[in-house]
Structure 1
Amino acid sequence: MCSFMKTEVKKLDTSKREISIEVSGDIVKNKFEDVFNQISKEAKIPGFRPGHAPRDILEKKYSSHAQELVMKELIPQLYNQAIDKEGLEVLELPSISDVKLDRTTLSFKARVEISPEIPVKNYKGIKVTYKKIEVSPEAIKRNIDSLKEARKIDPVRNTESIGEENKVSNGVDVVDDNFARSLGYPNLTELEKAMEKQIYIQEENLQRQKIEKEIIGTITAGLDFKLPQSLVNRQLQDLVRQAKLDLALKGLSREKIEEQQNSLVQQLEPEAKAQVKVYLVMAAIAKKENIPIDDHMPHKAMEFLLREADWAESA
């Protein structure tokens, strides 16, 4: 990091900061030297071979170009050093302004959006209730009967009327070992066991989703903070893109889909905000509990909250 760099951070609101950055000394002078050396190798000046033109002629002819190159190379470098120095978690590319440069000093301002500080607390020991999952014989029978009906009726094309579909029985009337073997199981008992396990997992997943939603609701209920607009916009774009893909898969034309752009944005914006809020709260918990902020963070943070919850079986 440059030892001659001065930084000052101004708080604009809960998630926006303006960083004033100034550097002077050898880093600027040396960068100008490097830039002019490069220009000298490439410049075509009448009466001089490339690399042999006097420095004063180069500086007079290419001064503006040299300044542009110095700024292009130094500003990103100094900006990254500044946010590291100030410990800022920046969410998007900066807006650069007020750039001033001479042969020894470079200064500029960078406006950035950062993750807001979220005072998460009381997220351990949240009371949750769970219901013991029991799969009834009736539930198993219903699911197997559904399989039987699905196997019993097959759509086939009528050769005399192209495009029409007739429903024809394939002869599956009895649920027995033969039926189980037609589905890849050795016998009916094994099919019933597999169906019981499938139903159990489905019920377990539904219950877990409900509990996770309750935990998140409890933690976020008392938190009110301004959401970074860049994150909301990014999430909203993803939701709208997915919604458009779903519409396309349903057969809507591109023109019809684009006509719904504004309504999709209005419809999905609340969901985008809710998802961003949950993510930021989970990230705040992850930081406090030394959980790495990566693609796996939301899952790991939720696993932590589930472990720390106060569990009780419902009556």
Structure 2
Amino acid sequence: MKTEVKKLDSTKCEINIAITGDQVKNKFEEVFAQVAKEAKVPGFRPGKAPRDVLEKHYASTVHEQVLKELVPDVYNQAIAEEKLDVIELPQITEVKLDRLSLSFKVTVEVTPEIAVKDYKNQIIKYKAVTVSEDEIKRQIDSVKESRQAENLDDKFSRSLGYPSLAELEKVVERQIFISKENQERQRIENELIENISKGLDFKLPQGLVERQTQDMLRQTKIDLAMKGLPREKIEEQEKLLLEGIQPEAKKQVRVYLILSQIAKKENIAIDDHMPRKVMEFLLSEADWRAT
């Protein structure tokens, strides 16, 4: 195999790929053998037509099938050999195939090089989460008002499924604690990523940004529809929705690429769970300080 990689910019590469000889020849023979088993040619029993007759009737079919099978195999082989971290589907052009050679051009988006450093031992200033009696009271009073209850007592608590007011207060305290703990955790994670990201300047792959933007737009439309907004109104607002979504989409892609770079350095698998795994790793390596 012959490959020639041309870097168009920090996120895009052009690859010229060519193979000759047995790999192409053998694929043609393999596909012809498959076609011969099922070929229906007038005057011959199924699977018994001679090669020259098959060539006449099925040459274009075989040609298309060889391309369908060989191009992905050769492309994947080239990507592996060149150690390219491709993040979007390739654009394949200038395909040329004959019985002994195959060549084509591929344009791909790749992960930009990101010089992530100093991501360990980040200082994290955290606040101990507490819940005051006043917070508990305000939450319960809010429920009381929404239900138009007269008294805040065990009877009221039982109407909510709790045996006593004391038990209700414990449950509400726990709910508030979890909510505040989650908020503090999110604040810490955002601050941690922001600190690691400082000074990192790299181009975002446009295809990845576009895919994230469309995913977020689709989810936003679903959310609006679930809230009862008519489809026509949603479509009218699409341009406005995109303007609001695009900055967040870019931010999410930027964070993902930084986390994936850390994952590679720390031998963390790049899968659907990667962002959470990397974040847990960063938190475990941080220098925690109470405030």
Matches of 1:144 and 1:298, distance apart in 2: 37
1:12 counterpart SS class: strand
Residue 117 of structure 2 aligns to which amino acid in structure 1? K
Matches within 5 A, 1:1-315: 5-41=1-37, 50-60=46-56, 62-152=58-148, 172-314=149-291
Matches of 1:81 and 1:96, distance apart in 2: 15
Give per-residue Cα distances to partners, 1:22-52, cap 9 Å, x unaligned.
2222221122223334444555656555545
Matches of 1:197 and 1:51, distance apart in 2: 73
TM-fit CA distance, 1:121: 0.7
The 1:38–1:296 alpha-carbon spacing in structure 2 relative to 1, beyond 3 Å, is: closer
TM-fit CA distance, 1:176: 2.1
Matches of 1:301 and 1:149, distance apart in 2: 44
The 1:104–1:139 alpha-carbon spacing in structure 2 relative to 1, beyond 3 Å, is: same
TM-fit CA distance, 1:61: 5.3
Which consecutive residues of structure 2, in runs of 5 or more, have no partner in the other structure? none
2:89 counterpart SS class: coil
Give per-residue Cα distances to partners, 1:93-121, cap 9 Å, x unaligned.
21112222222222222211122221111
**For structure 1, which segment, 260-269 or 210-219, has the greater mean C-alpha deviation from structure 2 after superposition?**
260-269
Matches of 2:40 and 2:136, distance apart in 1: 85
Give per-residue Cα distances to partners, 1:77-107, cap 9 Å, x unaligned.
1112222222222222211122222222222
The 1:96–1:192 alpha-carbon spacing in structure 2 relative to 1, beyond 3 Å, is: same
The 1:191–1:43 alpha-carbon spacing in structure 2 relative to 1, beyond 3 Å, is: closer
Matches of 1:105 and 1:190, distance apart in 2: 77
User: How many aligned positions are there?
Assistant: 291
Residue 251 of structure 1 aligns to which amino acid in structure 2? G
CA contact (8 A) 2:40 2:47 kept: no
**For structure 1, which segment, 180-189 or 214-223, has the greater mean C-alpha deviation from structure 2 after superposition?**
180-189
The 1:245–1:57 alpha-carbon spacing in structure 2 relative to 1, beyond 3 Å, is: closer
Give per-residue Cα distances to partners, 1:149-195, cap 9 Å, x unaligned.
1222xxxxxxxxxxxxxxxxxxx322222222322223222222222
CA contact (8 A) 2:116 2:258 kept: yes
Residue 252 of structure 1 aligns to which amino acid in structure 2? L
User: TM-score by structure 2 length?
Assistant: 0.90
State the identity as a percent.
Answer: 63
CA contact (8 A) 2:11 2:203 kept: yes
1:109 counterpart SS class: strand
User: TM-score by structure 1 length?
Assistant: 0.84
1:190 counterpart SS class: helix
Residue 150 of structure 1 aligns to which amino acid in structure 2? S
Matches of 1:235 and 1:294, distance apart in 2: 16
Which consecutive residues of structure 1, in runs of 5 or more, have no partner in the other structure? 153-171
Matches of 2:43 and 2:130, distance apart in 1: 93
Residue 27 of structure 1 aligns to which amino acid in structure 2? Q
The 1:210–1:47 alpha-carbon spacing in structure 2 relative to 1, beyond 3 Å, is: closer
Matches of 2:58 and 2:150, distance apart in 1: 89
Residue 243 of structure 2 aligns to which amino acid in structure 1? Q
**For structure 1, which segment, 141-150 or 268-277, has the greater mean C-alpha deviation from structure 2 after superposition?**
141-150
Give per-residue Cα distances to partners, 1:46-77, cap 9 Å, x unaligned.
65555455434543554444332222221111
Give per-residue Cα distances to partners, 1:261-291, cap 9 Å, x unaligned.
2222222111111111111111111111222
